[in-house]
Amino acid sequence: MTFAATVLTLFPGMFPGPLGVSLAGKALAEGRWSLAVRDIRDAATGRHRSVDDTPAGGGPGMVLRADVLAAAIDAASPADDPRPRWLMSPRGVPFTQAAARELAAGPGVVIIAGRFEGVDERVIAARNLREVSIGDYVLSGGEIAAMAVLDATVRLLPGVMGNAESAESESFAEDGLEYPHYTRPQIFEGVGIPEVLTSGDHAKVAAWRRAEAERLTAARRPDLLRRGPAKP
Ligand code: ADE
């Protein structure tokens, strides 16, 4: 079964963008996942085909209309679509490596990339949208967030990463940050490679990496240390 991604956006020209190159792009070309991109504006009716309107109650910005977005979703994802529907939003639940893993194990995802001040609240409940954020900052639209979600998910699909071990040991897989890496040249601008890494002693190398990973995690992300042991 191929992982099927559908993205609803007002800027379809932004896709596949970075998802069309490197690992994700190669996997896309190989048919390991599919990407359907739909223009929300195609669902707009009326003389002006407007997709947004002023917020009820007043205030700044514009709001994506419930009727237009619902029609766009219905055209792209039937009521019995088994795929989860995500609405990218800075007020959503945080996207995590665990969420990427869960998504990758399923049939795919329908992602709505919002623009404007937000979307009409009624469509979120009516179409069972899960609001998801990629971090505590505000992007000008959900497209880059959708790309981040798909990139993190697609690399976990079977056969996409050449080296399964490297997918496993990376940052967050074990609830901590990754250890530092080195390669040739032996001396770079007068700085050598830590001796233990060239010692050939695999147990010592593993211990050094564990200690370095812990040191970095404690310094940069102490919140990850408090999370406790990795979940299976
Ligand atoms: N849209 C705007 N900002 C966002 C964020 N941080 N995460 C997801 N979608 C967004």
Here the CATH number for the domain that contains residue 207 is 1.10.1270.20
Distance 161 CA to ligand 1 centre (A): 27
Q: Which of 91, 112, 134 to mutate to test the pocket of ligand 1 (most atoms within 8 A of CB)?
A: 134
pLDDT over 90 (residue 145) = yes
Q: Are residues 147 and 186 in the same domain?
A: no
Q: Are residues 33 and 142 in the same domain?
A: yes
Alpha-carbon distances of 132 from 62, 64, 95, 100, 128, rounded to whole Å: 20, 17, 6, 12, 13
Q: Which of 8, 111, 139 to mutate to test the pocket of ligand 1 (most atoms within 8 A of CB)?
A: 139
Q: Is residue 130 part of a domain?
A: yes
Q: Are residues 25 and 113 in the same domain?
A: yes
Q: Are residues 90 and 143 in the same domain?
A: yes
pLDDT at 9: 98
Higher pLDDT, 228 or 75: 75
pLDDT at 116: 78
Q: Are residues 65 and 127 in the same domain?
A: yes
Q: Are residues 193 and 97 in the same domain?
A: no
- Give the CA count within 13 Å in the CB-facing half-sphere of 159: 11
Question: What percent of the chain has a predicted confidence (pLDDT) above 70?
Answer: 92
* Structural domain containing residue 188: 173-227
The residue nearest atom 10 of ligand 1, judged by CA position, is 89
Q: Enumerate residues 6+ apart whose C-beta is below 8 A from 164.
A: none
Q: Is residue 197 part of a domain?
A: yes
Q: Is residue 162 part of a domain?
A: no
Partners of 9 in the β-ladder: 39
pLDDT at 81: 98
Domain boundary among 154, 183, 215: 154
What's the mean pLDDT in 169-189?
85
Q: Are residues 177 and 147 in the same domain?
A: no
pLDDT over 60 (residue 40) = yes
pLDDT over 70 (residue 143) = yes
Q: Is residue 91 part of a domain?
A: yes
